[in-house]
Amino acid sequence: MNPKITVALAPMEGVVDPIIREVFSLIGGYDLMFTEFIRVTQNLNPDKVFYKFCPELKNGGKTFYGTPVTVQLLGSDHSAMVDNAAKALELGSHGIDINFGCPAKTVNRHDGGAALLKDPQRVGRLLEELLRQLPCSSGVSAKIRLGFEDTKLLPDLAQILKSLPLKHLTVHARTKLQGYKPPAHWIEIKNYFSGFSYPVFANGDIWSFEDWKKCFQVTECAHFALGRGAFANPALGQQIKLNNPRALSWNEFTESLLPLFYQKSHEYRDHHYALCRLKQWLKFLGRNYTEADVAFSKIKTLKSFAPPADFWNTL
C-alpha cells in the first residue's frame, strides 16, 4: 500500500462524465474526481447546469460509492467566475477547480482554458479574486499546462502559483501547442513545482504502472492525476495505491463494468449516447485488451442499440 500517494481522476471533456466517475469509484483507487469543465461567460449558470455536470451534488458532492467530486470551471470573467464558484460550493461541490489547461481552439479563442497562460499575471489575478471572495474553507485549486506556445513564461507562472494558498495544483506536463503529443515533460514539474506548500499533482502520459513509477522517480511527486491512461486501464489507480500492477480481467469488464456503464449511460441520456460512449471506451481499452478491439468491431457500425440480456457474454 502507498498510503502517502494520492491519485485523482483527471477532468476530461467528453470522457469523464458522471457515469465514468461512478464506475471508476466502484473500481477504486481514486481519492478525488473532477467534473468536465463548466463554461462560465458573464452570467451565473442556473442550478440545472451544475446538476447536469455534477449530479453527485445531490449526494453530498460524492459519487454513489463515496468519492468526493470537485466542480471544475472554465472562464476568465472575475465576477462571473466568483458567482459560479460560490453557487457550486453552495450546492455541495468539494472545492472549486479552475481550468487553465484546455487546449481546444474554440475555448482558447473565447479567452478560456490555456489561453490565460499567455499572461501568468492574469492567472494569478483570477485565482487571487476567487481566494479573496470565497470562504477560506472552500478549497480553490487549478489545472495548468507548462505554457501556451512554449515554456518561456513557466518560471513566472510557477512563482505566482507558489505564492497562492491553493488547495492543490495539477500540472499537465506539456504546453498547449504540444497538445497530447508524447512525451510529457515530467522533469519540468520537478524543476518548477517542487517545494510548494500544497500538493502538486503530476499529469500526462501515465498510461501504465511502469509509466507511473518513472513519473514518480522523475517528478518526486506524491500526487498524480490520471486521465487517458485511466480510461484505457481503469485499475491504474488501484495499481498505484496498492503498489501492485495487477490489471482487471476481461471477465470483470463483461460481467459487471461494461453492463453497468451502458445501463447508467442509457439512464443518464439515451441508447444512442450509451452506444457512443461504449464505442469510445472500448477503443481506449483496446490499448490494453485485445478483447476490447474484438468487441468494438462487433458494434462499430451500429447506429442504434438495445443489448439483449446475454449480449455481454458474447464479447
Indicate the domain borders of the chain: 6-242, 250-314
Mean pLDDT calculated for residue range 130-142: 94
User: Is the model's pLDDT at 3 over the cut of 80?
Assistant: no
Using the predicted structure, report yes or no on whether residue 304 has a pLDDT greater than 80.
no
| pLDDT at residue number 302 | 87
Q: Over 80: is that where the pLDDT of 308 sits?
A: no
Q: Annotated catalytic sites, by residue?
A: 102
Q: Over the stretch 275-302, which tens digit does the pLDDT of each residue have? A: 999 999 999 999 999 999 999 999 999 8
Q: Is the pLDDT of residue 162 over 70?
A: yes
- pLDDT score at 66: 98
Q: Which is nearest to 264 in space by CA: 31, 20, 57?
A: 20
The CATH code that applies to domain 6-242 is 3.20.20.70
- Where would I find the H helices in the chain? 18-27, 47-53, 78-91, 105-109, 120-133, 154-162, 187-193, 209-219, 228-232, 236-242, 250-252, 258-268, 271-285, 290-299
pLDDT over 70 at 19, yes or no: yes
Look at residue 110 and tell me whether its pLDDT is greater than 90: no
For 181-201, the pLDDT digits (tens) are 999 999 999 999 999 999 999
- Of 63, 60, 50, 57, the closest CA to residue 19 belongs to 63
Fold of 250-314: Bacteriocin As-48; Chain A (1.20.225)
Cβ neighbors of 211 (< 8 A, separation 6 or more) are: 205, 229
**DSSP states along 149-191:** SSSTTHHHHHHHHHTS--S-EEEESS-TTTTTPSPP-THHHHH
- Averaged pLDDT for residues 164-187: 98
pLDDT beyond 80 at 2: no
pLDDT of 55 > 70? The answer is: yes
Q: According to the model, what pLDDT value does residue 303 have?
A: 83
